[in-house]
Structures are given as C-alpha cells and as structure tokens.
Amino acid sequence: MAAKTVQLTPLAQETRTALPTPEAAGHLNRAQQTLRIWACREDGPIRPIRINGRLAWPVAELRRVLGVA
C-alpha cells in the first residue's frame, strides 16, 4: 500500500494558524508518529494544541523551528 502524498503549502504562504499532523510532519520531514510521540511526551521542539481530541501544530511554531520568516 502506497503512502498518501500530502500537498504542502509553503509555510511562508500558509494562512491557517495550525496544521494537522500529516502536514506538519511533511514540513518537518519527520514521520507522523514522531510528532505524536512529541505530543504524548511533551518533549519535542513544538507543542501541539488539541482541538476536539485531535492534534494541531501551530504554524508560528513550525516557522520558528524551521527558521522561516
């Protein structure tokens, strides 16, 4: 079974305030499970927000970690 390809909007052009895990993982070049582990352990470079039990990754924090203006 092939992995699902996610079309990423460049962070500099992103208008949403938070991204779902698959998109955030794509920007960070990490596996989705890595981000989920960061969320559970609360020890990653970014802390997600939870919206109705789902993880959302703040775009401002993604930009900070990746050094995107």
**6 token code pair:** 């996610």
The answer on pLDDT for 1 being more than 60 is no
DSSP state letter for 51: E
- The model carries a pTM of 0.88
Residue 38 is predicted with a pLDDT of: 98
DSSP state letter for 52: T
Residue type at 55 in one-letter notation: L
Per-residue pLDDT reduced to its tens digit, 5-64: 778 999 999 999 999 999 999 999 999 999 999 999 999 999 999 999 999 999 999 999
The residue ranking higher by pLDDT, 27 or 3, is 27
Q: Are strands 49-51 and 54-58 parallel, antiparallel or unpaired?
A: antiparallel
The answer on pLDDT for 2 being more than 70 is no
